Structure 1
Amino acid sequence: MHWSTPYVGLPWAETGDTPDGVSCWGLCVLVYREVLDLTLPSYAGLCACPAERRQIASTIGGEAAGALWRPVPLTTAREFDVAVFRVGELDAHVGLICTPTQALHITQGHDSAVLDLRAPRWASRFSGLYRHAEIMDRTRAA
């Protein structure tokens, strides 16, 4: 069974990061915690309402430029990389790479699902791909 299978069909919850309900970032937090035994920062306090998307996008951008995440080309996508997507003009949605062409994600009002990165809806909104520094370090050590 693929690691993503138990995470498909989870319900949406604004700041959730448990199997009872997740946000897009909360889904990443949950998977990293349960599958990789890595703790990601929680941005729950930043997700109070959709009107604060600029602040969320700024946080995503700041983290992406920091030591925790390293940008990688989409052509090198690997499991557990975080794909960032635009919502309007802001980078405010994320998903986890399952296969080189698919990502696990969730959007408000829907259950978590696997999306096709090549689908026009997602390909046109793709903004960047990031790999956790510890995963890169584990790969180098192996």
Structure 2
Amino acid sequence: MEVRNVMSSPAVVANPSMPIREAALLMRAHGVGALAVLAGDDLVGVVTDRDIVTRAMPDGAVDRPVGEVMSPDPVTCRADQPVVVASEVMGEMQIRRLPVVNGDRRIVGMISLGDIAENVSEELAGQALGEITEMR
């Protein structure tokens, strides 16, 4: 099965200058734990709920821009890749969500361990999660 068949699409996106508070509200409104960060059409980062909690909340700096707390240059997967490859990348890179890009490297969605568990295999998602938690 290909990533395109299980990813969430379209991806919920932010821009680097968006206030963190706004990004958090966007996550809550869409029920997602990560936003793709775009500068124009270019994927420049990912900001997760964990990024917000660990990098912004301790200082109460929720009006700072997303660009200050995002993870830059995110690892991605392609929509036409097998889901098992995306799962392996998640395990190796210790991440729970991957932006999905097309052949032109434009964001087309997001895939999470939850998407894999729900639509493909709980066992496959569990293996990746095991790798993530083992290494931390």
The structure carrying a bigger strand percent of its residues is 1
Tell me the TM-score normalized by structure 2: 0.31
The structure whose RCO (Cα within 8 Å, separation 6+) is larger is 2
Tell me the TM-score normalized by structure 1: 0.30
The structure carrying a bigger helix percent of its residues is 2
